Amino acid sequence: MKKLTVLTVMIALVLVSCKQNYTSNEESSTSVKRAKIVQLEPTAEAIPVYAAGKIQSLESIKLSFKTGGIIKKLHVSPGEYVRQGQLLASLDLAEINAQVAQAKSNVEKLERDLNRFRKLYADSAATLQSVQDIETGLEVAQAGLQIAQFNQKYSQIIAPNSGKIQSKMSEENELVSSGQPIYTLGTTEGVSLNVGLADRDVVKLRLGDEAVITFDAFPGEKAEAKVTEIAGEGHPVTGTFQVELTILNFPYELKPGFFARATIKPGEQKPYFKVPMHAIVEGLDQQVAVFIPAENKAKRVILLPKHIGEDFFTVEAESANELAVITDGASYLSEGDYFETINE
């Protein structure tokens, strides 16, 4: 059995409500039916897009060690401000120092061997191939020394930029692997809210569109925001499109990870009609049927909803002309029925 859509459920509730409010006249089968007509005017008022997500810094960097090992010291904690070039963490260097020493000794030995074989070659006591083999071995050993020294250098975490430590993911004396995040560093002032939107919502937005954001941490407080980034493709797992909202002028400190809700107002909106939900008489997959007045008769038309609200749905306004729909009493009408207008 197919699952009922939200629109189908709404239609069922509307029809039940109409039948409770309007009863057929059993005394006279020839009496004229009564119904209410609502005149709709096209509007371009923005229909908000609602979303939720977590606060994060405008820019942040995950910091890790180049090599794996045991953490010897973590020098800073979350919430601290650090300057560029500051030492943040270091590994126990016993193993990496031994690797550097081993690589140096190997280079020094091959340098001595190369000097000796060059002298022997000059005295015709060694072949050219022997000298070349040692030269190649020396180059390989020197490369190995450079690798060991590079790993030694990056067995410490140095702040690449000034900023604020947002989070710490490991502890001292913990064994970590190469590339495992240790800190998250926020490198710029300001925070943003990243939300995932469905394709039908993301197409409504443009860079610069305004938004209002509320926070569970600050009930009743609102922050202004603007759309500053819209993803060019959907997330490979969720299929949603990431939209970044930069928060403006909020008097309280917003920590990364705070939960927030956004109401985004699209700057551009095509004209549409706002049709009352109780005008619906039938649902047809993604379409709905309503009655419109045609010379005191009910005429059945099919509409394609673009947006579903709490008590209304919208359809595109193809012209500036008004649209009249029958609401109260529509469920008792059939195609071509005469009716009497009960508008006040």
Do 253 and 277 have their domain in common?
A: no
pLDDT at position 173: 92
Give the strands of the sheet with 272-276, arranged side by side: 272-276, 312-316, 307-308
In a domain, 68, yes or no: no
Do 224 and 254 have their domain in common?
A: yes
Nearest by Cα to 233 from 222, 243, 245, 224 = 243
What CATH number does the domain containing 313 carry? 2.40.420.20
What CATH number does the domain containing 241 carry? 2.40.30.170
CB-based contacts of 145: which residues, under 8 Å, 6+ apart?
100, 103, 104, 106, 107
Record the tokens describing residue 297, joined without a space. Answer: 């008769």
In a domain, 74, yes or no: no
pLDDT at position 110: 92
Domains contained in the chain, number: 3
In a domain, 71, yes or no: no
Do 285 and 305 have their domain in common?
A: yes
Looking at 204, 235, 265, which one is the last position of a domain? 265
What CATH number does the domain containing 145 carry? 1.10.287.470
Looking at 133, 153, 173, which one is the last position of a domain? 153
Do 105 and 148 have their domain in common?
A: yes
pLDDT at position 6: 46
pLDDT at position 73: 93
In a domain, 133, yes or no: yes
CA dist 74 and 16 (Å) reads 66
pLDDT at position 214: 94
In a domain, 200, yes or no: yes
Do 258 and 193 have their domain in common?
A: yes
Do 256 and 275 have their domain in common?
A: no
pLDDT at position 111: 92
Question: For the whole prediction, is pTM greater than 0.75?
Answer: no
pLDDT at position 1: 38
> Within the chain, which residues score under 70 in pLDDT?
1-31, 188-189, 319-321, 344
Domain with 198 in it = 49-59+189-265
Do 260 and 201 have their domain in common?
A: yes
CA dist 312 and 324 (Å) reads 15
pLDDT at position 3: 38
